[in-house]
Amino acid sequence: MLKDFEKTKPEDKSVLNAEIKELSSTLMGMQEQLREKKLPILVLIEGWAAAGKGSLIKELISELDPRFYHVESPAVIPESEARYPFLYPFATAIPENGTLAFFDSGWMESLVRKLMHRDITEKEYKRRIRQVNEFERQLRDGGYLVLKLFLHIDKDEQEERLGSLLAQPETQWRVTEEDILQHREYKHFRDAYESFMDKTNDIIPWHVLDASRRKTTVRDALRLLVIQTQTALASGRYIGSPFEETFPLVKMPKLADVDLSPTISDDDYKKELKRLQERLSELHNIIYLNKIPVVICYEGWDAAGKGGNIRRVAYPLDPRGFDVKPIASPEPHELNRQYLWRFWTRLPRSGHICIFDRTWYGRVMVERLEGFCTEKDWKRAYNEINEFERDLTEWGAVVIKFWIHIDQDTQLARFTDRQNTPEKQWKITEEDWRNREKWPQYEMAVNEMIEKTSTEYAPWYIIESNDKKYARIRTLKIIVKALEKAIDRHLEQVLG
Amino acid sequence: MLKDFEKTKPEDKSVLNAEIKELSSTLMGMQEQLREKKLPILVLIEGWAAAGKGSLIKELISELDPRFYHVESPAVIPESEARYPFLYPFATAIPENGTLAFFDSGWMESLVRKLMHRDITEKEYKRRIRQVNEFERQLRDGGYLVLKLFLHIDKDEQEERLGSLLAQPETQWRVTEEDILQHREYKHFRDAYESFMDKTNDIIPWHVLDASRRKTTVRDALRLLVIQTQTALASGRYIGSPFEETFPLVKMPKLADVDLSPTISDDDYKKELKRLQERLSELHNIIYLNKIPVVICYEGWDAAGKGGNIRRVAYPLDPRGFDVKPIASPEPHELNRQYLWRFWTRLPRSGHICIFDRTWYGRVMVERLEGFCTEKDWKRAYNEINEFERDLTEWGAVVIKFWIHIDQDTQLARFTDRQNTPEKQWKITEEDWRNREKWPQYEMAVNEMIEKTSTEYAPWYIIESNDKKYARIRTLKIIVKALEKAIDRHLEQVLG
């Protein structure tokens, strides 16, 4: 795309200006439709240093109502300081429905730069290319219009521009060491950009723009944006279909086949609880020092004992290094973004433990059964979630998922007890009773969920919780074992 | 408080344990009432290194449902790296209604440490003490229960504890250089803590706890928490009264006395717009390089031309260094916190420009007139807002506030034009017409607002916008002048 790139020809200035004016006003006129149709647009602007990314953005937004757009410069963070997954700065900055986000450099620059600095291995680079493709597909399938532009200038043009920036004291500071390195290594960078675009061109294609004539660049970018927006508005919000992808799955039993009879004696419980909590406390130290992130997910039947279980896990942890994130119904600003956004934004920093009290699996349970999303949406979600969790594990996270399981009789007994005990009444709502009536539908959905998302890297554990104490010991044991394994693996990597 | 501190006497362990158990279960039993009464609780835990802040928090939360609490460790950020106002990490971490937040060190540690390191001057220290008192009052008046604990141990006890942490390889890392410095300078720190507590004891009193006997500390802390919570629940949500405080106010005209006739010719407009935008662009560079934060507030009548005005200001700015924050009705998680929280969380980093399209002044306009808050609330808000803006200017921010002003006839003409122009119809809603009927009430509220909050450090500018072009030139001129002045002052400080 870049090596054989043909420069545009000079065009008549007044014609260009008229075109730009026309296109800008068309774009401005579409803002309200964007809002009505809830179309979110992400414009990714990549390109050479001094190619004019900033000034292009300025032109693109010049006619837009500030309530309709947002400019992001997802910081290029040195790998050593990154405390979040690679995609984190991008996934947390996606636009709301009905608005535009302009990314002034994004995942391409971030990745190519790390590769050129040898901050990441070739293998890691390949993985991240895969993550990028998955991320772009998830956005597209979630109804996002994603427009990817690369602003191209040749080496001579870049030299001239950097030179004139350096010549003036008030613009000097804009040229970074990184820019100079890029210029010196122009050919290497060109190959790297080229290869990146080759590998990420299938789902959402790249548009390389000649950035040597500013007005032409603006016109071309505006034209692309306007045409693609018109098309997207005309065809209605896109909903992606479920897609085939193979994940390494663990074979899991159906809920009905799980033996719920195991119990533990009070004496054993106390002993085990003490031992495991002490061990967990030690492990938390090591996790923290070695910056291993941990994500623990709790799902389960109402009254299964999630809360008490979480408390026993949380107790031995240093409160400075862990967090419980209760997940309730999404708020408007959350509903207005791709459904995983509200989980991306809640991820722990590396070295921290985050316990999710309910999770992204709401998509394939309550949202599926209550019709809060389309069939395509929840069917697609299994693989999207597998991808999301793979992102987490590739970042180095330990991901553990619990289904806290009881049978219907036990639930009824606990509901009744709550109803009859004044201090517990608040724990039981009309909704709980309504959900209970849908037990068979939920059971079917949970079985499907566990079957499709119990990956080797992020397996489900069905926790027998008719005896709550037994359940607590089991989750603690699983967590301790998983952390021990992760620490061993981590130390091996560091040492070996 | 600390020098003459009397140690507690040893108590019977089993009695203590029983008391703790009893208090914990009382606290647990109150969680639902917290939620019902929407009481938010902030427990600030300060104290000596190795005094056991972390383990105290562990005990306090051990019986709580994770959905009801949150542990924060507002990072102790070196002054040189702070890109936000001093109170920012605390003001953004306050709990939601119905929940508890435990701060594992907070504003006391942050300030005392900076003072001891001579990171800040005595004068700056005093200012921040005032900010702390104002912040605590605002929380209290906003219905927050704030409990402030200081965990005290004497020098010998600290030596022993640090020693035993250092003796074990797995706990060694917990002792920081800062802790060792504190121990070496124990007396100086003691004086500094003591003096801090003296100066911040009037609005919300400190409780110094003997931290040398862990169980006693836990019991005492729990008892305080339980008793204060019970009292707060019994007396209903506290609403603070308006308070007297003198701010340096600028005398402002009433809206009715503003001459709305000024206009500008098209030629002058184009010339001036170009000149001012170019100048603003230059200034933005300097602002950015000198890390001066800028907050520009837009309020005004519907159809006064806010949007177009903001666009002309935004156009010359580098999109990487500014942000427009449109302010809509608060979402649930915003309504569930002190009303300024949603603005604290939207502040720009130093060196960035943030344009608020509507602001915190909603409190004394729409919230006042529509009854979304109590009379006490909005009457208190004038001074609270003056304090908030003083925090911003003391941080170094330029704060500029515009009331975009038109008369009723002009509004009617613009409304009618919107109604009759298909592409503009979305801009006009039923609500706009309803608000228009309340023009006299709004005018009264706006006059009062401008009178009471036009401080010398954050003045209001009433912008004559019957001629939108005239208005744009005026705001640009005001911004340019304010930035020039701020840059001069900044360079004087740096050089002098």
Which residue of chain B has the CA closest to A316?
B58
Q: Look up residue B178 and give its DSSP letter.
A: H
The tokens describing A467, both together, are 């005896």
Cα(B389)–Cα(B248) distance, rounded to whole angstroms? 12
Among A53, A50, A88, A204, which Cα is nearest to A140's? A204
Cβ atoms of A224 and A232 within 8 Å: the answer is: no
The shortest C-alpha distance from B331 to chain A (Å) reads 7
pLDDT tens profile B26-35: 999 898 899 9
Side chain identity, residue A94: I
Q: How far apart are CA B248 and CA B243, in angstroms?
A: 16
Give me B336's structure tokens.
Answer: 């569930």
Of A319, A332, A426, the CB nearest to B57: A319
Give residue B192's Cα distance to chain centre: 25
Beta-sheet strand order (sheet of A100-104): A69-72, A100-104, A41-47, A145-152, A206-210
Q: Which two tokens stand for residue A186?
A: 């122009």
B257/chain A closest Cα distance in angstroms: 31
Please name every residue paired with B104 in a beta bridge, in sequence order, or none if there are none.
B45
B16 part of contact set with chain A, CB < 8 Å: no
> Tokens standing for A401?
């998922």
Structure tokens at A9: 């020809």
* Cα nearest neighbour of B104 on chain A: A320
Are the Cβ atoms of A71 and B35 closer than 8 angstroms? no
Q: How buried is A288 (Cβ within 10 angstroms: 0-12 exposed, 13-18 middle, 19+ buried)?
A: buried
Query: What pLDDT is stored for residue A65 in this prediction?
Result: 84
Are the beta carbons of B331 and A333 separated by less than 8 Å? yes
Tell me whether residues A61 and B314 touch, CB distance under 8 A.
Answer: yes
Give the total residue count for chain A. Answer: 496
The pTM of the full predicted model, rounded to 2 decimals, is 0.91
Taking contacts as CB-CB distances below 8 angstroms, the residues of chain B near A355 are 66
Which of B104, B170, B319 lies nearest to residue A57, judging by beta carbons?
B319
CATH 3.40.50.300 domain residues, chain B:
13-235, 255-495
How far is residue A242's CA from residue A382's CA, in Å, rounded to a whole number?
A: 9
* Encoded tokens for A341: 């956004």
Homologous superfamily of A255-495: P-loop containing nucleotide triphosphate hydrolases (3.40.50.300)
Interchain CB distance below 8 Å, B67 and A285: no
Which residue, among B146, B380, B372, has the nearest Cα to B240 in the 3D structure? B380
- Sign of the four-CA dihedral A336, A338, A342, A346: negative
| Partners of residue B423 in chain A, C-beta under 8 Å | 29, 32
Q: Do B357 and A70 touch (CB under 8 A)?
A: no
Q: Best interface-test mutation with A: which of B65, B279, B358 has the largest number of A CBs within 10 A?
A: B65
B291 to chain A, closest Cα gap in Å: 14
User: What pLDDT score does B80 carry?
Assistant: 66
Encode chain B (496 residues) as per-residue pLDDT tens digits.
788 888 888 999 999 999 999 999 999 989 889 999 999 999 999 999 999 999 899 999 988 888 889 999 886 777 666 899 999 999 999 999 999 999 999 999 999 999 999 999 999 999 999 999 999 999 999 999 999 999 999 999 999 999 999 998 878 888 999 999 999 999 999 999 999 999 999 999 999 999 999 999 999 999 999 999 999 999 988 999 999 889 999 999 999 999 999 999 999 999 999 999 999 999 999 999 999 999 999 999 999 999 999 999 999 998 888 999 999 999 999 999 999 999 999 999 999 999 999 999 999 999 999 999 999 999 999 999 999 999 999 999 999 999 999 999 999 999 999 999 887 888 888 999 999 999 999 999 999 999 999 999 999 999 999 999 999 999 999 999 999 999 999 999 888 7
Nearest CB among A62, A67, A170 relative to B285 is that of: A170
Q: Is A165 on the interface with B (CB under 8 A)?
A: no
CA atoms within 13 A on the CB side of A62: 17
The alpha carbon of residue B377 is apart from the nearest alpha carbon of chain A, in Å, by: 26
Nearest CA in chain A to B61: A315
Contact call for B66 and A102, based on CB within 8 A = no
Query: If contacts are CB pairs under 8 Å, which of residues 406-445 in chain B contact chain A?
Result: 423, 426-427
Q: Say what the pLDDT of residue A80 is.
A: 67
Residues 6+ apart with CB under 8 A from A350: A82, A83, A84, A291, A292, A293, A395, A396
The kind and range of the H/E element at A326 are: strand A322-326
SS3 B119: coil
State the maximum Cα–Cα separation within chain B, in Å, rounded to a whole number: 88
Using CA atoms, how far apart are residues B492 and B496, in angstroms rounded to an integer? 5
Residue A470 structure tokens: 């037994």
Tokens of A102: 């302009």
- SS3 state of residue B350: coil
Let me know if A32 is exposed, middle or buried by CB neighbors in 10 A (0-12, 13-18, 19+).
Answer: middle
Report the DSSP beta bridge partners of residue B404.
Answer: B300, B463
Across the interface, whether the CB atoms of B54 and A310 are under 8 A apart is answered no
Closest residue in A to B319 (Cα) is A71
Q: Which of B32, B64, B355 sits opposite A426 (nearest CB)?
A: B32
How far out from the chain centre does Cα B144 lie? 14
End-to-end, the C-alpha distance of chain A in Å comes to: 40
Query: E-strand spans in A73-132?
Result: 100-104
* Selected residue of B318, B336, B346, B352 to mutate for chain A interface (largest A Cβ count, 10 A): B318
Which residues numbered 348-367 in B keep a CB inside 8 Å of some CB on A?
355, 357
Residue B62 distance to chain A (closest CA, Å): 6
How far apart CA B306 and CA B100 sit, in angstroms, is 40
Taking the CA of residue A482 and the nearest CA in chain B, the distance in Å comes to 20
- The tokens describing A98, both together, are 């009905």
Q: Which of A102, A320, A426 sits opposite B73 (nearest CB)?
A: A320
Strands B206-210 and B294-300: unpaired
How would DSSP label each residue in A140-196? HHTT-EEEEEEEE--HHHHHHHHHHHHHSHHHHTTS-HHHHHHHHTHHHHHHHHHHH
Residues of B in contact with A173 (CB under 8 A): 289
Radius of gyration, alpha carbons of chain A = 26
Q: Which of residues 41-60 of B touch A (CB under 8 A)?
A: 54, 57-58
Binary contact (A71, B285; C-beta < 8 A): no
Q: Determine the pLDDT at residue A77.
A: 73
Cβ separation of A331 and B326 shorter than 8 Å? Answer: no
One pLDDT digit (tens) per residue for chain A, 496 residues: 788 888 888 999 999 999 999 999 999 989 889 999 999 999 999 999 999 999 899 999 988 888 889 999 886 777 766 899 999 999 999 999 999 999 999 999 999 999 999 999 999 999 999 999 999 999 999 999 999 999 999 999 999 999 999 998 878 888 999 999 999 999 999 999 999 999 999 999 999 999 999 999 999 999 999 999 999 999 988 999 999 889 999 999 999 999 999 999 999 999 999 999 999 999 999 999 999 999 999 999 999 999 999 999 999 998 888 999 999 999 999 999 999 999 999 999 999 999 999 999 999 999 999 999 999 999 999 999 999 999 999 999 999 999 999 999 999 999 999 999 887 888 888 999 999 999 999 999 999 999 999 999 999 999 999 999 999 999 999 999 999 999 999 999 888 7
Q: Is the dihedral of CA B205, B209, B215, B220 positive or negative?
A: negative
Are A67 and B324 an interchain contact pair (Cβ–Cβ within 8 Å)? yes
Look up residue B377 and give its amino acid.
D
The position carrying tokens 């949603």 is B342
Q: Does A318 touch chain B (CB under 8 A)?
A: yes
A307 contact B CB<8A: yes
Distances (CA, A) of B28 to B15, B31, B68, B100, B214: 20, 6, 10, 12, 21
Burial state string for A248-284 with b = 16 or more CB within 10 A and e = fewer than 16:
eeeebeebeebebeeebeeeebeebbeebbebbeebb
Cα separation, A151 vs A208, whole angstroms: 6
Chain B positions touching A307 (Cβ under 8 A) are 65-67
- CA distances to A375, A403, B187 from A369, rounded to whole Å, are 10, 18, 64
Neighbours of B314 (CB within 10 A): 22
Give the total residue count for chain B. Answer: 496
* Cβ pairs A/B, distance under 8 A: 96
- Residues whose CB is less than 8 angstroms from the CB of residue B374 and which lie 6 or more positions away in sequence, other chains included: B239
Give me the residue from B57, B311, B319 closest to A54, CB to CB: B319
Burial of A37 (0-12, 13-18, 19+ CB in 10 A): middle
Phi and psi at B202, nearest 5°, equal: -80, -45
Contact A170/B315, CB-based, under 8 Å?
no
Tell me how far the alpha carbon of residue B399 is from its chain's centroid: 15
Distance between B66 CA and the closest CA of chain A, angstroms: 6
Domain A13-235, second-level architecture:
3-Layer(aba) Sandwich (3.40)
The packing angle between helices B186-199 and B122-141, to 10°, is: 50
User: Which of B173, B319, B331 is facing A102, going by the closest CB pair?
Assistant: B319
* CA distances for A189 relative to A117, A162, A165, A481, B349, angstroms: 11, 16, 21, 44, 32
